[in-house]
């Protein structure tokens, strides 16, 4: 029996990368998975993969920055599976640029999707989660903990997710809803491959990002999914309001480089 047997898990941004890895894990562990994804084609791809492997899943096109879209996501999940036991707020975008040249519109888009999306999805799911208890896992980033040039909006959105996690944990603990965050380091995803291909020296960037982690590799979606599985499961039944850093030691190396 899987660790998430009989649970219903919503995963936002589950069309690819970390989100697909978490959806794959949840289905393998026995959960029914709602794939909430803005790109309906990639959502269908995840759904097909999970079903082909014997999993239970469905998908709905979802814009996490749109209140009506989020409410429709929760409604369909309950209509399809009868309840909600866990929410993984994974959907996000990364638009970067030097601050003095960064438009207000772009700033708002990053905040609305990353931080606003986590808020809207959590708010909409909480009435269902409170009925029997459950878990919210927010995917933040090491950008929540360290400053990166050109990433003011992204860093702020991810730092906000960590703060939101703590507040929701305190507010919903009496309802037996646990809320935790994961801060991944660099993860190999299709988005990462696109970023790497656009670099002036892809081989150098590839080497430096691997070497920025003491374990000398970038992470995989499965590495993050393993952490999410633990935080959703009953094994983490007395853990809430915490942030689990899954970065291959990246943060420790930052410290070493600065003071070592």
Per-residue pLDDT of the chain (260 residues; tens, 9 = 90+): 689 999 999 999 999 999 999 999 999 999 999 999 999 999 999 999 999 999 999 999 999 999 999 999 999 999 999 999 999 999 999 888 899 999 999 999 999 999 999 999 999 999 999 999 999 999 999 988 888 888 899 999 999 999 999 999 999 999 999 999 999 998 888 777 776 777 788 788 788 878 887 888 889 999 999 999 999 999 999 999 999 999 888 877 765 554 44
Give the orientation angle of helix 117-132 with respect to helix 67-81, to 10 degrees. 30
Query: Which of 170, 57, 166, 156 minimizes the C-alpha distance to 113?
Result: 156
CB 251 within 8 A of CB 213: no
Q: Dihedral of CA 3/251/144/100: which sign? A: negative
Q: What is the pLDDT of residue 214?
A: 84
Q: What is the pLDDT of residue 258?
A: 46
CB 122 within 8 A of CB 88: no
The class (CATH top level) of 8-188+220-252 is alpha beta
Q: Of the residues 59, 119, 154, 186, which is catalytic?
A: 154
How many residues are recorded in the chain? Answer: 260
Q: Let me know if 146 is a catalytic residue.
A: no
pTM of the model: 0.93
Q: What is the pLDDT of residue 102?
A: 94
Tokens of 122: 């959590």
Q: What is the pLDDT of residue 1?
A: 66
Helix extents (H) in 29-151: 40-52, 67-81, 104-111, 117-132
């Amino acid at each position: 029996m899987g660790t998430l047997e009989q649970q219903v898990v919503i995963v936002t941004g589950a069309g690819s990368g970390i989100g697909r890895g978490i959806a794959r894990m949840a289905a393998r562990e026995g959960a029914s998975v709602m794939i909430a994804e803005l790109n309906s084609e990639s959502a269908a791809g995840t759904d097909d993969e999970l079903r082909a492997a014997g999993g239970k899943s469905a998908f709905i096109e979802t814009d996490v920055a749109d209140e009506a879209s989020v409410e429709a996501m929760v409604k369909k999940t309950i209509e399809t599976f009868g309840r909600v036991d866990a929410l993984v707020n994974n959907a996000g975008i990364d638009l970067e640029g030097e601050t003095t040249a960064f438009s207000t519109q772009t700033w708002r888009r990053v905040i609305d999707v990353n931080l606003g999306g986590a808020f809207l999805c959590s708010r909409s799911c909480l009435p269902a989660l409170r009925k029997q208890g459950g878990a919210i896992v927010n995917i933040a980033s090491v950008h929540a903990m360290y400053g990166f040039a050109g990433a003011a909006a992204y860093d702020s959105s991810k730092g906000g997710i960590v703060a939101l996690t703590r507040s929701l944990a305190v507010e919903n603990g009496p309802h037996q809803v646990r809320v935790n965050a994961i801060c991944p380091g660099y993860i190999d995803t299709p988005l990462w491959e696109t970023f790497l291909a656009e670099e002036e020296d892809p081989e150098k960037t590839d080497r430096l990002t691997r070497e920025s982690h003491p374990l000398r590799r970038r992470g995989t979606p499965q590495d993050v999914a393993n952490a999410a599985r633990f935080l959703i499961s009953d094994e983490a039944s007395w853990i809430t309001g915490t942030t689990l850093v899954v970065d291959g030691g990246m943060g420790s190396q930052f410290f070493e480089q600065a003071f070592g």
